[in-house]
Chains A and B, each alone.
Chain A
């Protein structure tokens, strides 16, 4: 089962913008939607972005997603200290009925 690649960590100052990348080499990644999850310390993951670029209700528009070819990107603008968390990308391979996650990216808001 394939793995998605994320940078281990990113950091930025409050109020700034940060992007987190997610790359996958398999055709399943190219052909399926990408999801993004936020995991605050000590809590369960929460869906942040679905279907590459859609936000569930209640997720502020500071969070955005995009996908092109074999890579996807999560963008966060107007960084807040409360955004410090681990962020994971994932994809659901509908043909194989499996889910693949990236290794996670720790966001530090300096």
Chain B
């Protein structure tokens, strides 16, 4: 069974940093593109970033470019999102998802940016 478990969310002050993790199991992690998607409270889904199966290619939404960095450790079956210079508008539940069709999702981790 495919499982994705996010962690690392919490309360952080504006301008601060946070690193999210997504632990994968039940499939060959190193064979799949992976994504981060976020959802602000009461709002819709917003794609954040993705990374190729071997980590050689990454892509970002304009709203996070230059502030967020996606990475992966295929030996540890783990996806990461390093978030710097956080803003109030980054407050959201962050989901990791698998493959080009986002066929499997984690349960999400809440990031709150507030003073």
Mostly, the B contact residues are loop
Q: Would you call A9 an interface residue if the criterion is a C-beta within 8 Å of the partner chain's C-beta atoms?
A: no
CA–CA, A15 to B103, complex, Å?
28
Instruction: Report A-chain residues with C-beta under 8 Å of the C-beta of B106.
Output: 44
Q: What 1/0 flags go to B93-114 for Cβ under 8 Å of A?
A: 0010000111111111000000
Q: Would you call B46 an interface residue if the criterion is a C-beta within 8 Å of the partner chain's C-beta atoms?
A: yes
| A contact residues, total (Cβ < 8 Å) | 26
CA–CA, A45 to B59, complex, Å?
21
Instruction: Report A-chain residues with C-beta under 8 Å of the C-beta of B72.
Output: none
**A residues near B, CB below 8 A?**
1, 33, 35, 37, 39, 44-47, 50-51, 56, 86, 88, 90, 92, 94, 96-104
* A92:B101 contact, CB within 8 angstroms: yes
CA–CA, A98 to B102, complex, Å?
12
Contact of B103 among A50, A88, A99 (CB under 8 A): A50
Contact of A92 among B46, B62, B100 (CB under 8 A): B100
